Chain A
Amino acid sequence: MPMNRLAELPLVLRPESFGGMLFDPTDATFLELDHEGFELMDAFARDPHQGLGAEAGHFIDEVRAQLTRLDGRPIRRVDGIPLDDAAPVPVLSAPSLVDFQITDRCHLDCPHCYASSTSQGEHAPIADILFALEQIADVGAYQVALGGGEPLLHPDLERVLTRCHELGLVPNLTTSGLHLGERNLALIADYCGAVGISLEGVGDAFDVYRKSGFARFQQVLAKLRARGVPTVLQVTLNTETFAQLDAITEFCRHQEDIYGVIFLAFKPVGRGAAFGTPLAAIEPGRVHERLQQTFFTLSEVTRVGFDCCLTPGVTGTGSTFDAHAARYLEGCSALRSSIGLLPNLDVLPCTFTPEHAVGNLHEQSLREIWQGLATRRFRDHMAQRAANNASCSSCAKYGYCLGGCPVMELVNCSRDYLGSGLGIPVTRA
């Protein structure tokens, strides 16, 4: 994979309640450090040439081994945002990821578009985007997921990407790839971490979702790969695409050199509300079994991921997959480690919850919003929703599930936290 300009960015060091986090933008490595480790890295950042004892030297060696480059590289120390009181759910000191919809415009008119984007959609003004990026960098976020709409349609995309770079942020983006000309391709290859393109089916099944067609999808994929752009295949799972999972898995299994495959829970939002059915309608044991099978098949050839909305479907009954997932998954990240940002600079728990805005960057700083009452109320809601659910409040897996999506019923778990009837299939896909 050709090295792009992310390798020029400084490492980022940020305190957390458990110690701190060191982020390497080159390949998006996150090192979670204990308090002593964080203090040592903080001292190292200020003076890398100071004398170190044997134990400290060994620790620095361990850190060095995990990063693309430590020596001679600046470390940007950010403070994070102090929280006034103990949060009812685990919260990082600042959002690590900001999902930023920089435009409402898209020409594809997909029937399941959660953003309800259209050809007449408005772009976020570049001044607003730059204003938001300043704040995102100021609080110490690491990555920005640019989306829309179709972000490649934004007339100031180049300025957006170069500003991210100047601020030390890693931009990733999701695109249909229909506007992937040479200029956009070069920009992405130079500045972005990864690019996501959606795959809802293979062949004719794809065409149901996107009028651009499967052949065009394959051309886009080939173009990105030829340029060495880390490409993520994003598979949104609803009851229909779940039925296509074998074909999708088989297709993905034969794509060499893709960055990974990420499975996303379908959300009945925007136009999608009238188009698909969430996985909650399928027996949870079956969802778990298929996700497990898919993970083991694909993880042999590429990265595999699951969005946090899918976590209840990943939790199972003590399987290897379940135990493995417990090491990495952390439940809903909304207002805990990520936020959504609309073109009008409304700050959301995630971009699927526009009715739950917790502030607007024109009125409050991101720092204030992260600490603010509306944000705390949402976190309280997240915790109370699980506490009031007998299946969640007595579940040993709460720590990595957090009781599923706090807003929508997306996918059930093996303990039937949605109350659909434990083990009884509601609908077979």
Chain B
Amino acid sequence: MKILRIRRGFTTNSSAYTEWLPPTSQQGNAGAQAPPGQSTTPPAAQGAVAPGTTPTVPAATAGASSPTAGATPPGHAAGNTLTVVGVIGALLAVFVTERVIRRLRRNRRPDDDADE
């Protein structure tokens, strides 16, 4: 059981039921975080029906190409970016490590495998 998100503030006009953007210094507060535990799946793979879930651009009408990406729920765009960067970083690290191991093995002298 979780508090997904916290908003505060009276709304005096029609153009959004909540419209206040807390100071960035509050990003560290639990309530200011994007809903925890929610998907960071790339937008195109997500469906959506309600705030707090995942809005997706629907299939375009005739003449328009199919959407290649939908959308993330509020607060998830930044999280997705971080995830993508993390995945790319991890893949890069695996690639570099694999190359280093191959290089070490190529350069290894025959007696490297010998017991002391």
Measured CB to CB, the residues of A under 8 A from B are 16-19, 27-34, 36-37, 40, 55-56, 59, 62-63, 66, 86-92, 95-97, 99, 142-143, 145, 147, 170, 172-174, 193-196, 230, 232, 234, 259-260, 262, 264-265, 295-296, 299-300, 303-309, 318, 320-321, 323-331, 333, 336-338, 340, 350-352, 383-384, 386-388, 390, 392-400, 402-403
Contact across chains for A350 and B9 when beta carbons are under 8 A apart:
no
Other-chain residue from B9, B18, B53 in contact with A18 (beta carbon distance below 8 A)? B53
Contact across chains for B13 and A18 when beta carbons are under 8 A apart:
no
Q: How far is the CA of A421 from the CA of B3 in the complex (A)?
A: 42
Given contacts A383-B58, A393-B60, contact A33 B4 (CB under 8 A): yes
Contact across chains for A318 and B81 when beta carbons are under 8 A apart:
yes
Contact across chains for B81 and A174 when beta carbons are under 8 A apart:
no
Contact across chains for B13 and A32 when beta carbons are under 8 A apart:
no
Contact flags (1/0) for B42-58 with A, using CB distance below 8 Å?
01000111111111011
Other-chain residue from A300, A326, A394 in contact with B67 (beta carbon distance below 8 A)? A394
Contacts of B60 in A (CB 8 A): 384, 387-388, 393
Q: How far is the CA of A68 from the CA of B48 in the complex (A)?
A: 32
Contact across chains for A97 and B14 when beta carbons are under 8 A apart:
yes
Contacts of B15 in A (CB 8 A): 264-265, 307-309, 333, 350, 352
**What would be 6 A-B contacts, judged by CB atoms less than 8 Å apart?**
A27-B8, A88-B58, A304-B21, A327-B34, A388-B63, A399-B54
Dominant secondary structure of chain B at its interface with chain A: loop
Contact across chains for B1 and A172 when beta carbons are under 8 A apart:
no
Q: How far is the CA of A262 from the CA of B69 in the complex (A)?
A: 31
Contact across chains for B59 and A303 when beta carbons are under 8 A apart:
no
Contact across chains for A324 and B21 when beta carbons are under 8 A apart:
yes
Write the nearest CB–CB distance from A308 to chain B, whole angstroms: 4
Contacts of A36 in B (CB 8 A): 1-2
Contact across chains for B11 and A97 when beta carbons are under 8 A apart:
yes
Contacts of A384 in B (CB 8 A): 58, 60-61
Interface size bucket, B side?
A: 35 or more
Instruction: Please give 16 more A-B residue pairs, beta carbons under 8 A apart, in addition to A142-B17, A400-B72.
Output: A17-B50, A19-B4, A32-B3, A37-B2, A40-B1, A89-B55, A143-B10, A170-B10, A174-B12, A305-B21, A318-B81, A323-B77, A328-B22, A387-B60, A390-B65, A396-B77
Which residues of B12-51 are within 8 A (CB) of A? Answer: 12-24, 27, 31-35, 37, 43, 47-51
Closest to B46 in A: A399
Contact across chains for A320 and B67 when beta carbons are under 8 A apart:
no
B101 interfacial by beta-carbon distance below 8 Å: no
Given contacts A29-B8, A31-B3, contact A396 B69 (CB under 8 A): yes
Write the nearest CB–CB distance from B35 to chain A, whole angstroms: 7
Other-chain residue from B12, B14, B22, B78 in contact with A351 (beta carbon distance below 8 A)? B14
Q: How far is the CA of A99 from the CA of B15 in the complex (A)?
A: 9
Contact across chains for B2 and A303 when beta carbons are under 8 A apart:
no
Q: How far is the CA of A300 from the CA of B22 in the complex (A)?
A: 10
Other-chain residue from A17, A90, A333, A393 in contact with B57 (beta carbon distance below 8 A)? A393
B102 interfacial by beta-carbon distance below 8 Å: no
Contact across chains for A333 and B17 when beta carbons are under 8 A apart:
yes
Given contacts A16-B51, A96-B17, A387-B59, contact A399 B9 (CB under 8 A): no
Q: How far is the CA of A87 from the CA of B33 in the complex (A)?
A: 26
Contacts of B16 in A (CB 8 A): 97, 305, 307-308, 329-330, 333, 337-338
Contact across chains for B17 and A260 when beta carbons are under 8 A apart:
no
Closest to A27 in B: B8
Contact across chains for A33 and B3 when beta carbons are under 8 A apart:
yes
Contact across chains for B11 and A90 when beta carbons are under 8 A apart:
no
Other-chain residue from B17, B50, B55, B70 in contact with A97 (beta carbon distance below 8 A)? B17
Q: How far is the CA of A152 from the CA of B82 in the complex (A)?
A: 49
Contacts of A329 in B (CB 8 A): 16, 21, 74
Contacts of B32 in A (CB 8 A): 327
